Amino acid sequence: MQGAVVVAGATGFVGARLVAALTSAGVPVRCGSRSPDSARRRWPDRSWVALDVDRIDTVRAALDGARAYVHLVHHMATDAGDLVGAEVRSAEAVARACADAGVGRIVYLGAPVPEGSPSEHLIARARTGEALAGGTVPVVELRASMIVGHGSESWLIVRDLAHRLPVMVLPAWLRSRTQPVAVDDVVTALAAAISSDAVPAGIHDLPGPEVLSAEQILRRTAGVLGMRPVTVPVPVLTPALSSAWIKLVTRADFRIARKLVDGLTDDLLLDEPGVWAHLPDAVRTGFDDGVRRAIAEEPPQTGGGATWERWARRLARPAR
């Protein structure tokens, strides 16, 4: 197919990797960013355009002549009072712009919706998918829970807690289960979804190969790091209090961390095999291997964080 693929959020954790994969495969990519000049200095070999989903004029300009559009943006790092409304409004405008530009397909990375009372950010993820699909352009929505990889805020929380706490306080909500997926597998699925021949339009779950509780995720990550923390169950520690605790221990953006933790009170389970039914040659990355890859990509720790982690390793029991 002719025309470029426009990636909104091309500087992000998933977006930058997707652009690299598409470019390596010979796919022409137009990289969208709210700060294209800054992005161009970091990645001068990529084609950058101004694209802010809250400024529809930039979206229309970026989409000119494009064959596909990939939506990898959200408002979680902002303090907008109405997260759901903000995301839905921008998604509706993007859907109209894609239709007007003659885009053949929209690909969106969403999240599962738990049973019970989903958090605001999970509601926003689902409503964004609905808004994009409400237009006339076919949409592929891939739903992933926790993505394991260097650069992910959710992974950063797990990594820092596992590496910095020889004694862990485990609130009851850490028993909630999910299916973490390696970022390389997410990129594989997104790249395939851009081709209409590979993945049909519709909603497809993007599960990792194992169902793990949040507690198991922390323990397994610590084990890969060579540590076996002492754990102390505390049934009364709420997600709100846990967010404050995470702020003290980890480097994660607190605005994002608070919203992520709110979404951990219920299971986030996905249908099997999900999108992998359409990608029979794909081999999913095991959780431990995904953790090893994420750790291998980290730059060396410096300053107080490095000191903290050295002491934590000395105080922790070695992994069996």
Give the torsion sign (CA, 256, 78, 144, 292): negative
Which pLDDT score is estimated for 50?
Answer: 97
pTM of the model: 0.91
Band (303; pLDDT cuts 50, 70, 90): confident
Band (305; pLDDT cuts 50, 70, 90): confident
Distance between CA atoms of 49 and 294, rounded to whole angstroms? 29
- Cα dihedral 306, 310, 312, 317 in deg (nearest 10): 150
Which pLDDT score is estimated for 237?
Answer: 56
Residue linked to tokens 């954790």: 13
Q: Kindly state the average pLDDT of the residues 226-234.
A: 80
Residues 236-256: pLDDT tens digits? 555 565 666 677 778 777 666
DSSP E strands in the chain: the ranges are 5-8, 29-33, 48-50, 68-71, 105-110, 139-143, 147-148, 167-171, 177-178, 181-182, 202-205, 212-213, 227-228, 230-234, 317-318
Residues 128-166: pLDDT tens digits? 999 999 999 999 999 999 999 999 988 988 898 888 877
Which pLDDT score is estimated for 174?
Answer: 76
Distance between CA atoms of 294 and 313, rounded to whole angstroms? 19
Residue 213 has pLDDT above 70, yes or no: yes
